Amino acid sequence: MKDLALKNDETAAPRARFELDDRGFDEVPKKYRKFYRRWDGPDDTLAPNEVLCPVCKIVIRSHRELLPGDRVYCMACMSRLTVVRGKAGRLEAVLELG
């Protein structure tokens, strides 16, 4: 199976990389905490490497910039998600079907 993330890249530019810090998200094992943080609500601005889980409203964080077509996993609610470009131009995550 082809790597959807690579195939769906919007640009050929190298992706920005991000250092993740532990934000104290304690609903997953400690080694995974840096990949998640709590969402502060509609005024919370998401970074290019962050996307909101539509199921449990936890912010999923990646070491690299996220692009439409990327697949992410929400460990908090065990949902498999695909990153899409939302109507407002922001990145959103939608549940994978099947």
Binding footprint of Zn ion on the chain (CB under 5 A) = 53, 55-56, 58, 74, 76-77, 79
Whichever of 49 and 79 has its CB closer to Zn ion, that residue is 79
Among 1, 5, 2, 3, which residue's Cα sits nearest to residue 83? Answer: 5
Cα 48 from Cα 53, distance rounded (Å): 15
Whichever of 5 and 79 has its CB closer to Zn ion, that residue is 79
Residue with tokens 């690299």: 64
Cβ contact 72:66 at 8 Å: yes
Helix (H, G, I), strand (E, B) or coil at 6: helix
Whichever of 53 and 83 has its CB closer to Zn ion, that residue is 53
CB of 85 to Zn ion, least distance (A): 20
CB of 83 to Zn ion, least distance (A): 14
CB of 14 to Zn ion, least distance (A): 29
